[in-house]
Amino acid sequence: MEINRNFYRPEGAEVKASSTPLDRIYRAYNADSIIEAPIVQVQLYGGAAAWKIDLEGIPGYVPFERSGLQHENQLKQFVGQKIYVMIHSVHRKDGDPYAECDRQKAVERLSKEVLERITLSQELEAVIKGLGDNKVYLDIGGGLIAEMPRQEATLSKIRRSLRSEFHIGQLLTVKIVKLDKTTGSVTVSRTAMLPDPWKTNQYSAGDVLPVHIVNIVGQQIYAEVVPGIVGMIATPNTPVELAIGDKVQCSVIRFDPEQKKLRMRYRQKVM
């Protein structure tokens, strides 16, 4: 059974004090309102991939074409999370109700409102919705997705996927660093919210530190001590084969936080 926009309660019909989940679905449908529901799984619906969502015990389905996503393989990344949807239609199968829902329409409405309110340099909380090797995608409110490239996500220069540092559903405090309200493009930064590691760390000559090789330029070798602090290694006279990604032990020669310079002496590889 499909409920159309002209479905209303009859005049004089008694409204129960405690409505049922199906009543609330009808109400959301007729009011064209937005509701929130968790994604249970990805499955076939009408022969195509879709989210199955839980509408207080009544199944709902969001086909990929109504998901608001660009790629079908992104559907799995949202499983277990709550999303905003609008009820597109209500049906029955073998007497049991279910609803087809539309996330794209809901997000378009909410995103527009959020985009109008946000400002450049604004700090806000955001939830990670998607992860790539070098980019993070976050919901900054109402389903409005902002991008966070590697340099804005982490201070670390170690070459590893951002998937190893963050996870879907993680809550972050970020700052808006780029905003184009015409195109709806938003870039946020986590690193802009972090303290300067050159001011929060202190090293003295002779300190022995475990470091990661992050770059090699000719005879110059650079290693990361902590995210945001990269120093140059003075190699020994004897040949040493070092490669990017190696973990080695070094001793501090000079640490200058004002000039943001760190010189180290190579000691040995760390196995």
Segment 223-271, tens digit of pLDDT:
999 999 999 998 765 457 889 999 999 999 999 999 999 999 999 888 7
Cα–Cα distance between 191 and 131 in angstroms, integer? 17
Residue 127 pLDDT: 93
Residue 208: Cβ-neighbour burial (10 angstroms; 0-12, 13-18, 19+)? exposed
What are the E-state strand segments in the chain?
Answer: 35-45, 48-55, 58-63, 82-93, 96-102, 123-131, 135-139, 145-149, 171-180, 185-189, 208-217, 220-226, 229-234, 247-256, 261-269
What pLDDT score does 11 carry?
47
Q: Is the pTM of this model over 0.95?
A: no
**Cβ–Cβ under 8 Å, residues 87 and 35:** yes
Q: How many angstroms from the chain centroid is the CA of residue 197?
A: 24
Q: How far is it, in rounded angstroms, from Cα 238 to Cα 243?
A: 16
CA distance linking residue 176 with residue 190, whole number of Å = 9
Which residues of the chain, if any, have pLDDT below 70? Answer: 1-18, 236-239
The answer to whether 50 and 64 have CB atoms below 8 angstroms apart is yes
- Report the 10 Å Cβ neighbour count for 21: 13
Kindly give the pairing relationship between strand 208-217 and strand 247-256. Answer: antiparallel
Are the C-beta atoms of residues 128 and 169 closer than 8 Å to each other? yes
Contact 141, 124 (CB under 8 A): yes
Residue found under tokens 């190699």:
235
